[in-house]
């Protein structure tokens, strides 16, 4: 038992320390940064945290951060037999990706899939292979358009909601992390730091949770995700901050800038999703891109003024 515990501790340490191997500087010629993912990406908090902190630290960088997350989506192409009580199957990224890339033409793509890809069933090699195939396909598509890919391990699934599916995401995360070494991929690990944080908090309070439903993290979870992304981008000082408010407290107008950036991201997300099209019912329709860009430019001008003050 002692040996097993020691091995487990060593695995956790190796997962956490592996982050230092993913130091990445966004190249000077990158302008458009796109985030692909499911409902956790669609909700967008972690993306607004990343953009806000990065821009406060690098006010002269001209980057456009675009959220293209779609609720319920998978990269595996799988769906439960009775998903959404039979209302619709899970949308598949394969259906919309070409349109997204054709219209947006990203230079850098952050990829965050996995949470839905095992369709909430125990580990199965066929489903696992579908996830692997989808990720490999996506990597090839990103390379094809001359962009760079940064893959993000899936967020943690709360073991209290089901240890079998928590184990699925452990396996998906480990496989994705292995691609750092087998294929020199850029992979940011959010899964194991989130899992360790959850376990540490559970030691203090057994009722603690990051995601009430086991899937969709609240504000703390989104900050943990953003923190790991920022650390991988070289913003090492964020390691000591407990939330986004603490991280931006030393910057003038930080809270106002965060609010404006979140509003602008949501505006453009809805407009881009409507413009590029998708098969996910139940989402609001974004305003026409031309109108959205006018409104986004107005918000952006206010952001620049606040950063400059």
Where are the domains positioned within the chain?
29-248+277-282
The per-residue pLDDT for range 245-259, each reduced to its tens digit, is 999 999 999 999 999
One of 3.30.56.10, 3.40.50.1110, 3.20.190.10, 3.40.50.10470 is the CATH number of 29-248+277-282, namely 3.40.50.1110
Q: Exposure string (b/e) for 160-191, b if CB count within 10 Å is 16 or more?
A: eeeeebbebbbebbebbbebbeeeebbbbbbb
The per-residue pLDDT for range 95-146, each reduced to its tens digit, is 999 999 999 999 999 999 999 999 999 999 999 999 999 999 999 999 999 9
> CA-to-CA distance for 24 and 84, rounded, in angstroms?
39
Say what the pTM is.
Answer: 0.93
The per-residue pLDDT for range 225-242, each reduced to its tens digit, is 999 999 999 999 999 999
Sole residue written with tokens 């090839």: 140
Tokens at 148, concatenated: 């760079």
């Amino acid at each position: 038992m002692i040996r097993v515990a020691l091995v487990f501790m060593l695995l956790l340490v190796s997962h956490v320390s592996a982050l230092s191997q993913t130091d990445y500087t966004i190249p000077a010629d990158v302008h458009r940064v796109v985030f692909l993912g499911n409902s956790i990406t669609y909700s967008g908090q972690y993306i607004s945290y990343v953009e806000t902190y990065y821009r406060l630290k690098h006010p002269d960088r001209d980057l456009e951060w675009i959220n293209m997350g779609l609720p319920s989506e998978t990269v595996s192409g799988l769906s439960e037999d009775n998903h959404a009580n039979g209302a619709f199957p899970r949308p598949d990224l394969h259906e919309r990706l070409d349109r997204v890339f054709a219209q947006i033409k990203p230079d850098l793509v952050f990829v965050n899939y996995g949470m839905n890809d095992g369709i909430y069933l125990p580990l199965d090699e066929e489903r696992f292979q579908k996830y692997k195939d989808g990720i490999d396909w996506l990597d090839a598509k990103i390379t094809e358009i001359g962009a760079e890919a940064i893959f993000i391990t899936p967020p943690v699934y709360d073991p209290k909601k089901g240890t079998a599916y928590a184990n699925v995401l452990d396996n998906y995360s480990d496989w994705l992390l292995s691609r750092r070494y087998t294929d020199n991929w850029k992979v940011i690990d959010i899964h194991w730091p989130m899992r360790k944080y959850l376990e540490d908090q559970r030691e203090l309070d057994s009722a603690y949770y990051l995601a009430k439903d086991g899937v969709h993290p609240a504000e703390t979870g989104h900050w943990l995700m953003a923190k790991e992304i920022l650390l991988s981008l070289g913003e090492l000082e964020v390691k000591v901050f407990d939330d986004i408010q603490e991280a931006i407290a030393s910057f003038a107008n930080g809270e106002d800038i965060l609010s404006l950036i979140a509003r602008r991201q949501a505006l453009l997300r809805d407009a881009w999703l409507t413009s590029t099209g998708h098969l996910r019912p139940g989402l609001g329709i974004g305003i026409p891109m031309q109108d959205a860009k006018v409104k986004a430019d107005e918000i952006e001008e206010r952001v620049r003024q606040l950063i400059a003050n």
